Amino acid sequence: MSDTRDIELLIDLMARLPGLGPRSARRAVLHLIKKRGQVLLPLADAMHRVGTSARECLNCGNISTRDICPICDSEKRGNGQICVVEDVADLWAMERSGVFQGRYHVLGGTLSALDAVGPEDLRIPRLIDRIATENVTEVILALGATVDGQTTAHYIADRLPGITVTSLAQGVPVGGELDYLDDGTITAALRARRAL
Amino acid sequence: MTGLALTSLTLSHFRSHRRAVLAFDGRPVAIHGPNGAGKTNLIEAISLLSPGRGLRRAAPQDLARRPEALGWKLVATLATPTGAHEIETWAEPDTARTVRIDGKAAAQTALARVAAILWLVPAMDRLWIEGADGRRRFLDRATMSFLPDHAGAVLDYEKAMRERNRLLKDMVRDPAWYAALEGQMAQSGARISANRATALAALAAAQAEAETAFPAAELGLTHPEGPLPETDEALRSALSDNRPRDLAAGRTLIGPHRVDLTAHWRAKDMAAADCSTGEQKALLISLILSNARALAARTGTPPILLLDEVAAHLDAARRAALYDEICGLGTQAFMTGTGSELFEALDARGQSFVVTETGGRSTVTEVPPSAPP
Ligand SMILES: Nc1ncnc2c1ncn2[C@@H]1O[C@H](COP(=O)(O)OP(=O)(O)OP(=O)(O)O)[C@@H](O)[C@H]1O
Ligand SMILES: [Mg+2]
Ligand SMILES: [Zn+2]
């Protein structure tokens, strides 16, 4: 007579992860149990530590294990540029490229009246405060090319008079062929053209 | 075959069709069978190879075969001038419709770039006398056939407008929020107006040049609140100026979402709404044919037409004229009717299918060309 309740619970919890369903969760749990020493126990340990220490940076909304994240804490990153992103995954994507040397501001979403997400829910007042306290000279908006993303971008630009606000260029992806682009993308790319 | 054609179609658990595997050769297709056999269901499936909810405007879960309600799937091959494309579209229970084009996940709006598909269904018989919504949809579908990216502009506009309407209803007073949404609406709204104008001009030109048995119509656009500001800038400032009135109304009162399509029967000098039922139907057929002709002229490729019960409303002479025009255009038209005699005048110029139903399950069979007795 075996009791599998804890294992079932683990499968249920895993199945709630993005990208996993009930089937893949069962496979993952089976794998974890088979690799108890190499994977399961270190994973449980790491999860426990992150679970007790991970928090949002009080300044920018990035996630780290401290109240102020290493990027906000670093003098070097205080170059006067703030890049505004929708969520932490976007911040990580920017960091992977390694080209941006300034700080970030994570909104945690986009403006949407229909989803009851307003400016206060997006740390926009905090962003306005940061302009003065961190001697910001340029705000770079790296928001999605969706209606909500662009509405949020225009809203922020409107609320930051007297400061340089730029947005990431939209257009032809690296390695992309014109043939496959829709007219919105081509229009944006044409508007953002530059001299060679 | 150089134009656009649906060459194969597989329906799985789609309405009354449990499984049907069909092959088409590009000629017009006549589909007959008794009431309730599953003819409209079949062409509804074809209508889902274009963006949106198809010719019945049904929710994805209503398309799943009952009682199983396990979801449904369509797989189609479209031959186009630039090569063949495989379209897969399906919905699982309680999920949105998913689209794959040539094995790659795609947005529904991308379907408009693969094939232009236009339809006439009996529910549209009242198009000219009912609300403006139906006429606007008709106009936008015609526009999308000329300019596939029109679908995206309409979606963006409606999304921004729904957001703005929500602010209006909630009496939010943040001017920057309104301005940001109005900017989005103005940008896509200006594209919508320009696209519609292009489409109307193309339709007018196609009507002027055609020799047809169907009546020509003068088409126009009206806007209930004076002339519609059409440029990005003009629309943006009109929306901004109109905010107090919109706040009072709780919705957006001006914009391309309020535009109506009018039609005037030229030879009779009469508004479409005042014409007889049969005349109104003839007008719609005339517009669909003009649309097909205009597309053929612009792109060299006529659209696929879905004409549900089109034959039933026409006398024998008009029916023959319709088949002649369809064959002349080289468009793959799928037509339904209860009896095969309705398609006699089409004869060997088309393919013939019969749909029957037993125990809530439809069967589709191709009818071989009539052998001599
Ligand atoms: N989700 C569904 N599952 C199973 N059957 C369905 C579903 N939706 C509709 N049906 C059935 O499909 C049948 C055929 O419908 P359809 O409208 O295609 O008939 P038709 O051949 O066009 O008939 P008519 O000549 O009257 O227009 C109807 O009897 C209807 O009950
Ligand atoms: Mg029918
Ligand atoms: Zn930080």
Supply the DSSP string of B255-323, one letter for each residue. Answer: SGGG-EEEEEETTTTEEGGGS-HHHHHHHHHHHHHHHHHHHHHHHS-PPEEEETTTGGGS-HHHHHHHH
- As a dihedral over the C-alpha atoms of residue A82, residue A88, residue A90, residue A95, rounded to 10 degrees, the angle is 70
Mean pLDDT of chain A: 90
User: Of ligand 1's atoms, which has the minimum distance to the CA of residue B41?
Assistant: 18
Give the closest of A151, A152, A184 to B160, CB-based. Answer: A151
Do residues B159 and B241 both lie within one domain?
yes
| Chain B residues close to A148, C-beta within 8 Å | 159, 163
Q: Looking at residue B2, what is its pLDDT?
A: 66
Phi, psi dihedral angles at B315 (to 5 degrees): -75, 170
Kindly state whether residues B39 and B93 are assigned to the same domain. yes
Collect contacts of B38-42 with beta carbons under 8 A, ≥24 apart: B38/B355, B38/B357, B38/B362, B38/B364, B39/B308, B39/B336, B39/B355, B40/B121, B40/B308, B40/B309, B40/B336, B41/B14, B41/B15, B41/B16, B41/B17, B41/B362, B42/B11, B42/B17, B42/B334, B42/B336, B42/B355, B42/B362, B42/B364
What six digits make up the tokens of B366?
A: 């191709």
Ligand closest to A64 (CA) is 3
Whether A150 and B149 lie within 8 Å, measured CB to CB: no
Is B156 found in the same domain as B47? no
Rounded to an integer, what distance in angstroms lies between the CA atom of residue B248 and that of residue A195? 49
Give the global pTM: 0.87
Which residues in chain B touch residue A159, judged by CB atoms under 8 angstroms apart? 176
Q: How far is the CA of B106 from the centre of ligand 1 (A)?
A: 29
Q: Residue B107 maps to which CATH number?
A: 3.40.50.300
Using the mean position of ligand 3's atoms as its centre, give its distance from the Cα of residue A57 in Å.
Answer: 5
> For A119, which residue in chain B has the nearest alpha carbon?
B177
Measuring from atom 2 of ligand 1, which residue has the nearest CA?
B15
User: Do B346 and B268 belong together in one domain?
Assistant: no
Task: In whole angstroms, give the CA distance from residue B286 to residue B297.
Answer: 16
How far apart, in whole angstroms, are the C-alpha atoms of residue B24 and residue B27?
Answer: 8
Minimum-distance CB partner of A112 among B163, B179, B184: B163
What CATH architecture does domain A76-168 belong to?
Answer: 3-Layer(aba) Sandwich (3.40)
Most A CBs within 10 Å: which of B155, B157, B159, as the mutation test of the A interface? Answer: B159
Domain hosting B52: range is 1-116+301-373
Domain boundary among B259, B278, B300: B300
- Total domain count for chain B? 2
**pLDDT per position as a tens digit, B71-87:** 999 999 999 998 999 99
Return the amino acid letter for B167.
Answer: L
What is the torsion angle, in degrees rounded to the nearest 10, for the CA atoms of residue B322, residue B328, residue B331 and residue B337?
30
- Domain's final residue, options B257, B272, B300: B300
To test the contact with chain A by mutation, choose from B95, B144, B149 the residue with the greatest count of A C-beta atoms within 10 A, namely B149
CB of B363 sitting under 6 A from ligand 1: no
Distance between CA atoms of A10 and A47, rounded to whole angstroms? 13
Residues B6 and B144 grouped into a single domain: no
Last residue of a domain, one of B300, B324, B345: B300
Chain B residues whose beta carbon lies within 8 Å of the beta carbon of residue A184: 149, 152-153
Q: Is residue A119 within 8 angstroms of chain B, CB to CB?
A: yes
Q: Which residue of chain B is at minimal alpha-carbon distance from A188? A: B187
Kind of pairing between the strands at B304-307 and B117-120: parallel
Instruction: Note if the bond before B51 is cis, omega within 30 degrees.
Output: no
Which residues of B fall within a CB distance of 8 Å from A109? none
CA A157 to ligand 1 centroid distance, Å: 53
Q: Which of A165, A61, A141, A151 is nearest to A110 (CA)?
A: A151
A155/B172 Cβ within 8 A: no
**A93's tokens:** 């994507």
CA-nearest residue, atom 17 of ligand 1: B40
Chain A contacts of B180, Cβ < 8 Å?
111, 150-155, 158
Q: pLDDT value at position B358?
A: 96
Contacts (Cβ under 8 Å, ≥6 apart) of A191: none
pLDDT digits (tens, 9 = 90+) for B234-287: 999 999 999 999 999 999 999 999 999 999 998 889 999 999 888 898 899 999
> What is the identity of the amino acid at A39?
V
Give the integer Cα–Cα distance in Å for B340 and B9: 22
Residues B218 and B281 in one domain: yes
B321 plus B276 within the same structural domain: no
- Interchain contact, A111 vs B167, CB within 8 Å: no
Q: pLDDT of chain A along its 196 residues, tens only?
A: 468 899 999 999 999 998 888 899 999 999 999 999 999 999 999 999 999 999 999 999 999 999 999 999 999 999 999 999 999 999 999 999 888 999 999 999 999 999 999 999 999 999 999 998 999 999 999 998 899 999 999 999 999 988 999 998 877 777 667 766 777 777 777 777 777 7
**H or E element at residue B144:** helix B132-146
List of residues 6+ apart from A61 with CB closer than 8 A: A88, A104, A105, A106, A107, A108, A123
B307: left (phi over 0), alpha (psi -120 to 50) or beta: beta
B331 and B214 in a common domain: no
Measured in angstroms, how far is the CA atom of residue B15 from the centroid of ligand 2?
13
B288 in the same domain as B167: yes
- What is the residue extent of each domain of chain A? 5-53, 76-168
> What is residue B334's predicted lDDT score, i.e. its pLDDT?
98
CATH number given to A5-53: 1.10.8
Instruction: Report CA(A105)–ligand 3 centroid distance (Å).
Output: 7
Please work out whether the CB of residue B41 comes within 6 Å of at least one atom of ligand 1.
Answer: yes
Q: Are residues B278 and B305 in the same domain?
A: no
State in Å: Cα B369 to ligand 3 middle.
75
Which pLDDT does position A2 carry in this prediction? Answer: 63
The string of pLDDT tens digits covering residues A69-107 is 999 999 999 999 999 999 999 999 999 988 899 999 999
A184–B149 C-beta distance less than 8 A: yes
**In order along chain B (373 residues), what is the average pLDDT of each group of 10 residues?**
88 97 97 97 98 95 93 97 95 92 93 95 93 95 94 95 97 95 97 97 90 88 94 97 97 97 91 90 92 92 96 86 95 96 93 96 92 54
> Are residues B324 and B286 part of one domain?
no
Ligand 1 and B60: CB distance under 6 A: no
Chain A / chain B CB contacts < 8 angstroms:
57
Asked whether residue B252 falls in the same domain as residue B310, the answer is no
pLDDT confidence of residue A1: 43
Instruction: Give me the CATH number covering residue B263.
Output: 1.20.1050.90
Tokens 């919905």 found at: B91
A132 CA to chain B: closest CA distance, Å?
21
